[in-house]
Each structure stands twice: as C-alpha cells, then as structure tokens.
Structure 1
Amino acid sequence: MTSLSGVISFASVLTANFVLLWFFSGNVLEATKFNFTTLTLSSVKLIGDAHWSNGSVRLTRDLGVPYSGSGKVVYSRPIRFRRPGVESPASFSTFFSFSVTNLNPSSIGGGLAFVISPDDEFIGDAGGFLGIMDAKGAPNGVVAVEFDTLMDVEFKDINGNHVGLDLNSMVSTRVGDLGDIGVELKSGDLVNSWVDYSGSTQSIKVYVSYSNLKPEEPIISANFDLNQYIENDSIFVGFSGSTQGSTEIHSIEWWSFSSSFDENPGSNPVVPAGAPPPPPTEFFTNPTPEKASPPPPSPAPNADISNTTSHEEKSSGKMVPGAVVGVVISSAFFLAFCAMAVIWAYNKKFKKDKGSDTFATNVIKMPKEFTYKELKNATKGFDSSRIIGNGAFGTVYRGILATTGEVVAVKRCSHSGQGTAEFLSELSIIGTLRHRNLVRLQGWCHEKGESLLVYDLMSNGSLDKALFESRMVLSWPHRHKILLGVASALAYLHQECENQVIHRDIKTSNIMLDEGFNARLGDFGLARQIEHDKSPDATVAAGTMGYLAPEYLLTGRATDKTDVYSYGAVVLEVVTGRRPIDKEGKVGVSSNLVEWVWSLHREGRLDSAIDPRLGNEFDEGEMRRVMLVGLACSHPDPMARPMMRAVVQMLVGESEVPIVPRTKPTLSFSTSELLMTLQDSVSDLNEIVRISTSSSEIGPEHVLNLV
C-alpha cells in the first residue's frame, strides 16, 4: 500500500490537536500558515470515524475488538495551490507527529496518510485504501503520503511498515522501507515526519524520524508536477486513516503547515516551537504483566520435636517417658490448633457471605455487577500507565473489557471511610438515573476490599482540560452546546426525577465530553436525594471554592438553587476562559470570577469578559444572552435565581432572560434565620464531611471562620 509519508505526518498531527491557523482573510487562502496551537474546532472538519480525543485527533475508532473503518480530517478552508499567469504551483512544507497503537498485535492493521484532495466531503474505503479512495478509484486530484501498516499485494506493497507517495492511485509511485531507518509504525512510539514540496523544481521530499531533528537524507525523494494531479486551483489538506479487521488507533499529535508561491515557504529542519518532544522509547512499551510473588516457605510442622530427645535415644530407637509425654502434648496442641483454624475459616466465610448479602440488599437496584478479576484484567492490574484521572476519593483507569472489547473508565474508590461513602452514594443515585447528558454507569464491583465503579469512557476528557490544558481552542458552538447539555441534565435531576437530586459539586472538572463534545455530568459522590418540596437537612458545606453559593457557605443547606449558582459559575468560566478562582490574576482584577464579571456588568463592559481566544467567531446576541444567564444564575439571592428548566428555555431562545441588575445585590439574613441555621449546622456537624480535593477547596474550618 502506498501512503504519502509527508501527508501522513500531517494527518497524525491533525488527530492530536489541530494547530492550524493563521490564514489570510478570504475564503481561499493565497498563502497559508498554521499550526496546532492556533487551530480551532471550526477550522477542522471531521469525516467518518475521525474524532477528537484529549486534544488530539484520532482517525479511527478506539475499539478493543477487530473493526474495519476509515476516518478523515481536513482543514476546513481550501488552500490556493495554483493561480493565473503562474506556471509553478505553490510550494508547501508540513510537519506532523503521529502514533499508531495496536490494542491487539495479532490483528492486521491499516495505516494513515497525509492527503491533498479536491473536496472536503469524500472519504475512501477502509483497509488498504486508507480512506484515500474507494474501490472505484479516486476523484482526480488526490495526492497522498501514506504510512502503511498492512502489506496489500493488490497495491504492490513491499511490506507492512513503509511510506509511499500516491498520485491518483493506491499503487505508490515511490516507496521507502521504514525498517531501513529503524522506525516501526506499530511500536506506539511518536513518529515525526516532514513533507516539503518545491513548486519551482517540482520535487517532493519526505523525511521520517523518531527525533525532533529533521534527518539529513529523505526517505522518499521524487519529481512530479502538482499541476498534473490537481484539477482545481484550490484544494484541501488533511489526514485519513483506516483499519481492516484490526484494533489500530491512529492519532495525530501535532501538525504545522505553510504554503506560498515563494520558494521554500517554511521548510525548516527544526521542529516548530511547541511541538511535543519525542518520548523515550519505553514510554510506549506495554508494561510487564504483574507477576504474583510466591508465598514465603512455611516451616515444617513440629520441626523441632527431635530436640526433645538425646542423640543416644535417637540412635537406639527408644524414647524416654518424658519424650512420650512431650509428643502427646504436642499432638494435642496441634489438633487443637487445626480445630481453631477450621472454626476461624468457617466464621470468616460466614461473615463474608453475610456482609455480601447485606451489601447486595443496599444496591439491589444497581446495574451489572462485575468481578474483581474482570476489572483487574481490563486495567492491566490497575497499572499506572492506564490512569486517566484522579478524583476526590479515587483514581480513574482506562480499561478494555475482555468479553466485549469495549473501552471503559474504571473508578477505583479509596479505602477510606469517605471513599466508601462516596462509592455507595454514587452507586445508589446515579445507578438509577437515565439521561443523555449524564455519564452512564455501566456497573460496579465490591470485592476483595475494593470498591469499583465502571462508566462509559468519555474520549474528550473533562471540560476544564478542554478549556485550560488543550492546545486546541474550544469553539463557541461547542461551548454553547456543552452549557445547554449541562442545563438539561440539571433540569432532569431537579425537576424530572422521582426524587429530587442535588448534585452539590457542579464544576468543569466534573463535566465530561464525549466524541461529539456533548456534555455528560458525572461524579455524584457528594450528591443528595430528597423528596420534592421537602426542606433539606443542614450539613457542613462541601465542594470547591468559586462554585459555592454564599447562602450554602453560611447555612450548610444544599438546595436546587445552590446547584443553580454553581452552574452560573460554570457558565461564566466557559464564556471567559478564566478559572473561578484565579490565584495568578492581573493586578486590580478580582481573583473571584463571579465578582469580576459582576463588576464589568456594573461598568457596562460585559463584552470585555469574553475569552479573547475566541476572536470574533461567535454570535454576539447569543453570547450576551448566555452571559446574562450566567449572572442570573449566580444572583446572591437564591430566590431570584431561575429554575434549570427555565435556563434551558433561555439558552435555546424560547424565553427571555430575566432582568439582571447592574449592581450586584447583597445577601442578607435576619438574625433569627442566621441563629436557626447556625444551630442546625452545629447539631449536624458530626455527619459525614466530604470535601473535594481541589487546591481551592473548603473544609469545616473555613465554614466556622465564615460563621
């Protein structure tokens, strides 16, 4: 199979974090320069199986079972490669980093490619076609650099580890054996590739290396006139990949691209600033399976009995009376010990069975029960390389279920009392809930002293990572969709469940994102279920500073309106791109996000709070409506905050946002109200106290200080 090696590196970069951008205005770009750090979601188009995953682009599905499919990602704007009166096509240079990971080494593979194509809609077949073209051929004008992991005789492939140049055909014009330079595509290691094309000399060079430094010699060098292979003056660039009954994951981790009608538009042997350095080889190697340690050897029973007899007695074969008594006593002691061991073992089993029965009655409504062995195998023995997150009272691992091949998230709750309480709370609440914007709990395990929860894996991680840690800027349409999804989930919890559910820990790190950047609210460890219209009990406030309603801090009573306040803080965080508590804020700017936005609203400068990374790529009317919704939800007076069902209607434009006062109102309590709430809080101070582990969290001492 042939594959554009330069193009494929471009593809690998795209799957990781599309840093493309930096273009001249206009629908068609005369000269283009972009990289992963400047890329936005609106700048990229995903086709077929391609999807975002933790800041990178994956061209194929992340499945643990054999699958055949293809995916493609392209820069959403066409790039001019030819212009009137100029014979030479544009020159271009691209650098990309990618990885190919095979969950099942026995499966046969596919590959990926950097692609130049005439449109942004077409996607080819799976298998040896690499998503470049289909069995009928390709639309004229397709050029690709392929990185092939499958030896396909039909396409005259040399092996299953090569790079090739494809010109309107899957039979490569030039092929390079990656084994000759010590690169193995299926190793899982990060591979770097450079593709340089000169319009004046009509030559292309493809370089591949594990190193960040561009090799001196290309693995592929060829001459061809790009004009002969492109029909349109403007074309699209991107990556494609495929599998063929395999479990390969093709990820683009970095991509930079530049083109112009000047010679050498950006060819540079040094990796662009910000590109991820190649990890050490062992970083991607599979961890050694756990080996059970053999138990220490047990001493032979009564090993020192011979010491009761003298050398003469042993040699004569006779025993003195004292020796006989010793043997009898020792035998009796041994029998008594055996009897006690039997009783202990039986008693332990009885208690375990009884405990299991008691536990089972508490979670009888819960979903599937997994065995500890299943989840241990799924996470490779809870290997540290499988960790994808750390929660308040546990660690989350990526797991692959052996029975179905499904990829899941396994939460291993801590062994503390709080960890166990969170496990039971989450299991008893979220296990009975069903909503498209809630993380789905697949099952649980309570065995061998472990408390485990199994969820659907959210491929794009948490909202806070998408906002603050990703090299890709989260676009406004995605942000709006996420806020609407969370509002819908809260409306369900507050008003549509049999019993009202108060989440108590609404924050961006507890909002997960699936493949389509749909919001899924999770982490119900602090949640409470109460009957509708029933007053909640007072407890010690639990949660994270910046998201906590002022009345909750004073009274300890969590209601649906305290969740609404937390949601308002999330809205302002998403709109501004600032954390709720900014410890390194600018001088003269409040470190509290809600306070800062209220101050801007008072000054009539609400627009200045908008995340500058969004540029002007948003609807101004929609943006202002969302910001006012955020302020309305974070109103100091809980009675003035809207219900979440009304918030959903506001976000979709079905109802008007209530009038938000220019000056932030103050929260006031009557003396009798404050004394009553203080009395309730003190009487309930002995209840379970659970606090999130964020650096900005609060504990009981903070509540007492506030009181």
Structure 2
Amino acid sequence: MGNFSNHLFAVEFDTFQALVIYGDMYGDINDNHVGIDINTVRSNASKPASYYDNSSKSSHEVVLESGNPIQAWIEYDGAQKIVNVTISPASLPKPSKPLLSLAMDLSPIFKESILKMGSTEADPLDLSKIPSPPRNGTPSPGLGRRGIKIGASSAMVTLALLLCGITISVYMLRRARLAEVLEDWELDVPHRFRYKDLYIATKGFKESQIVGKGGFGSVYKGVLPKTREEVAVKRISHNSKQGVKEFVAEIASLGKLRHRHLVHLQGWCKRNGDLLLVYDYMSNGSLDTFLFQEDKNLDWGQRFRILKEIAAGLLYLHEEWEQVVVHRDVKANNVLLDSNMNARLGDFGLAKLYEHGKNPRTTHVVGTVGYIAPELSLTGKATASSDVFAFGQYY
C-alpha cells in the first residue's frame, strides 16, 4: 500500500514490464497493462489493457503502444468507496463494465484541501462525507441532491486533472530510466539488442543474477522476454579501459565467429556508459569450478575431452578463420561448459585481431598472472603462441 504520508494516487498506462525497481521485486504483469497505484509505484490492482465491447459482450485487447487514440474514465464512488477505471478506443462509447475496480477509501490519500470543492449552490464537499444514496424515496439529510451532484462533479474534475498529472509524471520517469540515444555508427552494426529487453532479461541487472566476473565486468544470467531463451549478458564496467572503439571492433568482427567450441556472441547493446555483450548461456558454468571446488569433480575422460575441444577452438581462432584471433586471456575461468559438459572458449573481451602474416598490432601486456607467456614482458606483443602457452598452464 505504501506510505500514507505520500498522498499519492495514480492510474498507470504502462508499456514496460518492470520486474525490479531500486533492487526490489516490482511485479508488473506484462508490458501492456493498466494499474492503480496507491502511495507507491507498485500497483495495488492491474490488468492487461482491454475494453468491454457492449455489442459483442466480450473483452478485446487494447495495445497501448499502437498510436491509436484511447479514451479513459477514472471514477470514484464516494459512497461505496470504489475506484473504477475504464478504457476503450476513442471511436467507441463508454463500456458498460470497467477494466479495473478497486475498493478503497481515498479520503486518507488526499489532503482535505484537494478534495473539498465549493459552488454557489452547495456547501463545500468532502468526498469522505458523501452520504449514502437515499432509499425508497427518503430525502438524504445534509446536502441536497443538486448540491451533491455539483460538488461531486467539481471534485471529480479536479481529481481527474490531478491523476493525469501524476500518471504522466510517473510514466515519463520510468521511460527516461530506460531511454536510449543511438549514435550514427550504431545503426550500421547488426545484432543490436534493445536495452529494455536486456534490463528485463536480467531483472534490472540484479546482483543475484550475476554468474561470473569477466575481464572487464560482471556477467549476468538472463532470459530474453520474447523468446524465453537463456543468455549470458556481459556488462562492461564503467571504469573499463576497453572503450567504444574496441567494443565496436569486437562485436563487428567476433560476432562472425562460428565454431562449436567457442561461446557464440549473439549481439550487443550500448546505452550511455553501459556496454553490453550477449552470449549463449552455459548452464554448467566455468571449468575452474570443477577444478578447484571439492564438491565438483571431473574424471580423466572428461578432462581429456575438454582439452581437445578447447584446442580445437584455439586452432580455429589461430589458423582456420579469415583473420588471426589472439584471445590473450586463455584460462580455466574462460572455459565454459554447456548442459552436456561440452567445452567452449569464451570471454573475448581481450581478443585482438590482425591479418594473417602480419605482426600483432598491440603492445599492451594484458591477461591473467600465471597464464602470461614470459616473452610478453619483453616484447609486449601477444601472439598465437602466447595463447598456446596459457592453454598449457591449465593442461
């Protein structure tokens, strides 16, 4: 219900399924719904957007993002203390059945100065004090029928305007949180994911979704909202030395790699300072957990097969693809295992490309201590041979 001191009442017309907000579970039902919010942005009642057709006596979906005009009725019965929300296409009359009905006394929600309205023909009206409807023709004490009608109408106009302002503000804030501004070069690079989809997939990049730490940031488990496919989303840290140019080069070139023993890079996303890579999800995690944790073991047959599979992947990177790919961070942490314990080499965050027959263009010593070839400290140039040295370290 939220804090009553907030004095907040809103009707949301939401086109985004927020699963978490500020680290807490949020629980929107879908990405096309209407909700009633009391003193919080967590809906007290919500339903998929739809309207009741008086002619066919059935409900029909309303797509809020369609761009078609939609009309809405937000009504509060002060006597029965019920809030009704009704929507329909602008071309149709008001449906006979509301989409949402919530039993709620709104008098504690709004300050007295908001709810009281006056007119020349009626005393000031407090909606919490509206008398019950007369029974069997008995006149209602206090306010006359005409006074009640005028006062209630005035109060509802003010309430409707207030609700519209609150709803628009909440909607704009939530949209701004997931807004994207595309640069020109982004339009030319294929396989781009929407940030909104990755945000939903990872439950707002919740800490509990982290499945590992990559060379430059955290890796999150996610489920794509449309296909329900499990993916791994690598979120490049804000303080990473890997800039936008390196990021673009990686997705443009490494996204073309296809080998059964390499983790497939499905796509990418960039939003402000966030750089995101989307990979196939490997359900059994990384090889290091099987090598160094006592509760997980590999027999010698499995170990030998994993070595052969990673060797095959390195051979593809070094000799069989159109360019030489030097991984530069071959280690047990970057060997990932799928559901059938097949090994794939992943985390190409440090990979550099150079044409066959040419010297490597990088002069920076990068990698993991213990896996770095000795000659790198002298030359500063990673080669296919330095990858083979690192491979031998966990062999």
Alignment TM-score, normalising by the size of structure 2: 0.53
User: Contact between 2:363 and 2:380, CA under 8 Å: does it hold in 1?
Assistant: yes
Aligned to 1:357: 184
Aligned to 2:235: 412
Say which SS state the counterpart of residue 561 (structure 1) adopts.
helix
User: Does 2:361 correspond to 1:537?
Assistant: yes
In the TM superposition, 1:73-472 aligns within 5 A as 288-289=25-26, 356-361=183-188, 364=189, 366=190, 368-421=191-244, 423-469=247-293, 471-472=295-296
TM-fit CA distance, 1:495: 0.5
Whichever residue aligns with residue 412 of structure 1, its letter is R
Change (3 A) 1:470 1:443: farther
User: Contact between 2:336 and 2:345, CA under 8 Å: does it hold in 1?
Assistant: yes
TM-fit CA distance, 1:546: 1.3
TM-fit CA distance, 1:466: 1.4
Q: Distance in 2 between matches of 1:381 and 1:538?
A: 36
Select 1:498's aligned residue among 322, 326, 342: 322
Change (3 A) 1:543 1:425: farther
Aligned to 1:349: none
| Deviation digits for residues 448-504 of structure 1 (CA, Å, limit 9, x no counterpart) | 442111111101100111111250211111111110011000100111111111111
Aligned to 1:565: 389
Aligned to 2:370: 546
Q: Distance in 1 between matches of 2:310 and 2:353?
A: 19
TM-fit CA distance, 1:557: 1.3
User: Contact between 2:215 and 2:347, CA under 8 Å: does it hold in 1?
Assistant: no
User: Contact between 2:217 and 2:236, CA under 8 Å: does it hold in 1?
Assistant: yes
Whichever residue aligns with residue 549 of structure 1, its letter is A
| Deviation digits for residues 506-535 of structure 1 (CA, Å, limit 9, x no counterpart) | 111011011111111011111111111112
* Stretches of structure 2 lacking an aligned partner (at least 5 in a row): 1-22, 29-36, 42-179
User: Contact between 2:289 and 2:296, CA under 8 Å: does it hold in 1?
Assistant: no
Say which SS state the counterpart of residue 397 (structure 1) adopts.
strand
Whichever residue aligns with residue 209 of structure 2, its letter is R
Q: Distance in 1 between matches of 2:290 and 2:24?
A: 28
User: Does 2:305 correspond to 1:478?
Assistant: no
User: Does 2:345 correspond to 1:521?
Assistant: yes
Change (3 A) 1:569 1:290: same
User: Contact between 1:413 and 1:423, CA under 8 Å: does it hold in 2?
Assistant: no
Say which SS state the counterpart of residue 392 (structure 1) adopts.
coil
Aligned to 2:73: none
TM-fit CA distance, 1:429: 3.3
* Stretches of structure 1 lacking an aligned partner (at least 5 in a row): 1-285, 295-351, 572-707
Say which SS state the counterpart of residue 284 (structure 2) adopts.
coil
Change (3 A) 1:403 1:538: closer
Q: Distance in 2 between matches of 1:466 and 1:511?
A: 11
| Deviation digits for residues 211-233 of structure 1 (CA, Å, limit 9, x no counterpart) | xxxxxxxxxxxxxxxxxxxxxxx
Whichever residue aligns with residue 405 of structure 1, its letter is R
Q: Distance in 2 between matches of 1:538 and 1:399?
A: 33
**Identical pairs, percent:** 49
TM-fit CA distance, 1:360: 3.4
User: Contact between 1:412 and 1:450, CA under 8 Å: does it hold in 2?
Assistant: yes
Q: Distance in 1 between matches of 2:27 and 2:219?
A: 19
User: Contact between 1:389 and 1:396, CA under 8 Å: does it hold in 2?
Assistant: yes
Q: Distance in 2 between matches of 1:568 and 1:417?
A: 28
Q: Distance in 1 between matches of 2:200 and 2:228?
A: 12
Say which SS state the counterpart of residue 349 (structure 2) adopts.
coil
User: Contact between 2:202 and 2:223, CA under 8 Å: does it hold in 1?
Assistant: yes
Whichever residue aligns with residue 437 of structure 1, its letter is H
Q: Distance in 1 between matches of 2:27 and 2:276?
A: 20
Query: In terms of Rg, which structure is larger?
Result: 1
User: Does 2:334 correspond to 1:510?
Assistant: yes
Q: Distance in 2 between matches of 1:425 and 1:507?
A: 23
Whichever residue aligns with residue 330 of structure 2, its letter is I
CA RMSD of aligned residues (A): 2.4
User: Contact between 1:414 and 1:420, CA under 8 Å: does it hold in 2?
Assistant: no
Change (3 A) 1:525 1:379: same
Whichever residue aligns with residue 532 of structure 1, its letter is H
Say which SS state the counterpart of residue 25 (structure 2) adopts.
coil
| Deviation digits for residues 181-228 of structure 1 (CA, Å, limit 9, x no counterpart) | xxxxxxxxxxxxxxxxxxxxxxxxxxxxxxxxxxxxxxxxxxxxxxxx
| Deviation digits for residues 393-446 of structure 1 (CA, Å, limit 9, x no counterpart) | 111111111111111111111123524356335323321100000001112111
In the TM superposition, 1:585-596 aligns within 5 A as none
User: Contact between 1:438 and 1:521, CA under 8 Å: does it hold in 2?
Assistant: yes
TM-fit CA distance, 1:537: 3.1
Q: Distance in 1 between matches of 2:373 and 2:391?
A: 10
Alignment TM-score, normalising by the size of structure 1: 0.30
Whichever residue aligns with residue 359 of structure 1, its letter is E
Q: Distance in 2 between matches of 1:396 and 1:384?
A: 10
Q: Using CA pairs under 8 Å that are at least 6 residues apart, name the structure with larger relative contact order, 1 or 2.
A: 1
In the TM superposition, 1:620-699 aligns within 5 A as none
Q: Distance in 2 between matches of 1:527 and 1:370?
A: 22
Change (3 A) 1:457 1:549: same
User: Contact between 1:503 and 1:526, CA under 8 Å: does it hold in 2?
Assistant: yes
Change (3 A) 1:551 1:448: closer
Q: Distance in 1 between matches of 2:24 and 2:335?
A: 30
User: Contact between 1:538 and 1:555, CA under 8 Å: does it hold in 2?
Assistant: no
Say which SS state the counterpart of residue 330 (structure 2) adopts.
coil
Aligned to 1:662: none
Say which SS state the counterpart of residue 550 (structure 1) adopts.
coil
Moved over 4 A (4+): 290-294
Say which SS state the counterpart of residue 380 (structure 1) adopts.
coil
